[in-house]
Amino acid sequence: MSYLVPSEFVTKMVDAGESKIYMSTRDTLIRAYMAGAILALAAWFAVTINVQTGQPLAGAILFPVGFVILYLLGFDLLTGVFVLAPLAVWDKRPGATWGGVFRNWGLVFCGNFAGAFTVAVMMAIYTTYGFSVEPNAVGKAIGVIGENRTLGYQHYGAAGMLTLFIRGVLCNWMVSTGVVGAMISTNVSGKVIAMWMPIMLFFYMVFEHSIVNMFLFPSGLLLGAKFSFMDYLIWNEIPTVLGNLVGGLAFTGLTLYSTHIKTAPKRSL
């Protein structure tokens, strides 16, 4: 599979982070928009499979197709740049600053949301014949997801918020591992296999992914689900973004960088 050793692919991660910081506003937004749109299509696809087959595992097995497509095409998710961009600062790359990191994160967030929301509108039109009839089974299922994963957490108060945050942490531990998988091989088949495994795990385990949720929850609101936009922000999106940030940095970015680039001196015998 033309496997790269860890020191090689972690160097590629740092290089990628540096390129994200220097990328123009136009290119950053275009790549983020397309990433959000493609991942939203994959989420719609997976929910459709779950509804039609009644087998969540089937949807989880096939959902990674969207992640694979967007990364092979060179697009960017917020969950990925959460991990990659800071590495360039920690590695002291010339011109890489925290200001550049935050700029990149903000632009990618906006682009991802715009792309995911575009597909949410299309999905709502598709499942209601232009809002002329009640949502079909897939549309109703998406509405239920939105209610369960906002009001459902709210019901448990602080314990619900902690659970939501932890699901966000676990999610980007796996998703950022998928981002690394895109760099772990020099051929397409190796990249696909390495990306597929952690993405399938996160989706089946119902962890919280901020960009997938940018599609699911606005979709539910468009289709008349019984929760508010503020419910979505407070009881899902904001804690999920924070959990995704912590999970990606703590369990993927920092660990790989610290042990494969900033390796500690070997122990003397």
Domains located in the chain, CATH noted: 6-258 (1.20.1080.10)
Instruction: Pick 77 or 2 by higher pLDDT.
Output: 77
The answer on pLDDT for 88 being more than 80 is yes
Q: How far apart are CA 220 and CA 146, in angstroms?
A: 6
pLDDT bracket for residue 1 (50, 70, 90) = low
Per-chain mean pLDDT for the chain: 96
pLDDT tens for each residue of 30-56:
999 999 999 999 999 999 999 999 999
The pLDDT value given to residue 262: 83
Q: How far apart are CA 222 and CA 145, in angstroms?
A: 13
Within 10 angstroms of residue 41's Cβ, the number of other Cβ atoms is 20
Q: What percent of the chain has pLDDT over 70?
A: 99
pLDDT bracket for residue 149 (50, 70, 90) = very high
- Secondary structure of residue 91 in the 3-state scheme: coil
pLDDT tens for each residue of 221-269:
999 999 999 999 999 999 999 999 999 999 999 999 999 998 877 776 6
Average pLDDT over residues 64-80: 98
Q: What percent of the chain has pLDDT over 90?
A: 96
Please tell me what DSSP assigns to residue 235: I
